Amino acid sequence: MTEELGDFLRTRRDAITPAASGLTSWGARRVPGLRREELAQLAGISVNYYTRLEQGQSANAGESILESLARALQLDDDERAHLFALARPTPARRRRAAPAERPSGGVVRLLAAMPDVPALLLGRRNDILAWNPLGHALLAPHLDPAAPASVGSRPNQMQLLFLDPHTRELYRHWEEEAALAVSSLRYTAVRHRDDRALAELIGELSLSSPEFARLWGRHDVRLCSSGTKYLRHPEVGDLELGFEVLHLPDTDGQRLLTHTAAPGSGSEAALRLLARGTAV
C-alpha cells in the first residue's frame, strides 16, 4: 500500500498549481504542479519525511500529518477518505476467492415493482446482479434479459463500459462516464484489496483497454451517488436522465442504480415508449 500511497500523493501534487496554493512561482518549472518542498512547506512537515512517504519508504503516518497533507493537497471528502485508507491499511490478508454475490429476494421484488423506473442492482465488483425489464431495455438491450441470473453469464458494468461497443455507443459523454466509473472503482478496490476477483477484473481491464489503464493511472477517486446520464439509445434516441445510487445496508457493497426523467420532458416520453415494449 505504501507504493500506491506514493502514487496517489504524487498525482494529487501534480494537479495543484502554485497559484492555487497561494505560492509565488519563480523561474521555469520542471513539474506540472507543486514541488515536493513546496507541498512539505504547505503541510508543515520536513521535505525528507514527505519524500519518504511519496517513495513508499515510510508507513503509519500520524493523523495530524495526514490531515495537513489533505489540506495542502486540497483533497475533497472522497480523496481524504482514500488517503487515510491508503495510509492506514487493514492488516494484509491473502487474496481470497470470495463467494459469488447473490441478490436478495426482496431487492429483486423491489426491482419488479418499479416497472416505469429503469433500475439494476450492482455488486461491489460492478457485476449486474439483477435488473428490471426497463433497466435491461435501457442499458443493455443487446444482452439476454436472463443474463444476471447466472453467475457464469452475469454481465459486468465495467467490462461493458470499456470492452463492449454497444455500451460505448450508448453514452454520449463516454469519456466522462468512464472516468467516473474508474475513480469509483479505485475507491472500492482499496477497501476490498483482499478480493481476488476484483483484482483480476482490474488486471484484465488494464491489459484489454488502454483507456482503462490510462484512467486507472491517474489515481482519481470519486464516489457519485447522483447526477445526470446522457444516453443515445438505439430505439428511442437521445435521453437525459437523472440517476441515483442507493447503497444497500448489510450487503458488502451492493447498490441500487435507478434512472428517472424530468416530468414533461422528451426523455420521459422516450422512457414511456421504451416501457411499452417491455410490457407483458
pLDDT in tens, 17-66: 888 888 766 666 777 788 888 899 999 999 999 998 888 777 677 889 99
Average pLDDT over residues 222-232: 92
Contact 176, 167 (CB under 8 A): no
The amino acid at 47: V
Query: In the chain, what percentage of residues exceed pLDDT 90?
Result: 61
Least confident of 90-104, 110-124, 135-149, 250-264: 90-104
Model confidence band, residue 95 (pLDDT cutoffs 50, 70, 90): low
Nearest to 12 by CA among 184, 220, 224, 223: 220
Judge: domain 2-87, CATH 1.10.940.10.
Answer: no
Q: How confident is the model at residue 156 (pLDDT cuts 50, 70, 90)?
A: very high
pLDDT at 270 over 70: yes
Mean pLDDT of 222-227: 89
Alpha-carbon distance 139 to 167, whole Å?
7
pLDDT at 204: 96
Please tell me the predicted confidence (pLDDT) of residue 274: 95
What are the φ and ψ backbone dihedral angles of 97, each rounded to 5 degrees? -85, 90
Quickly state the pLDDT bin for 224 (edges 50, 70, 90).
confident
- Say how far apart CA 56 and CA 1 lie, in whole Å: 8
Residue 38 vs residues 17, 46, 84, 163, 210: alpha-carbon distances, Å: 10, 10, 21, 41, 33
Where are the CATH 1.10.260.40 domain residues in the chain? 2-87
Residue 271: closest CA among 133, 85, 101? 133
**Could you report the per-residue pLDDT of 199-211, keeping only the tens digit for each?**
999 999 999 999 9
Segments of the chain assigned to CATH 3.30.450.180: 105-278
pLDDT at position 92 over 60:
no
Rounded to an integer, the average pLDDT of 187-196 is 85
133 Cβ contact list (under 8 Å, min separation 6): 115, 145, 278
Q: Does the predicted TM-score (pTM) go above 0.85? A: yes
Whether 165 shows a pLDDT value over 90: the answer reads yes
Q: 105-278: what CATH class?
A: alpha beta
Does position 260 have pLDDT exceeding 80, yes or no?
A: yes
Position 94 scores a pLDDT of 58
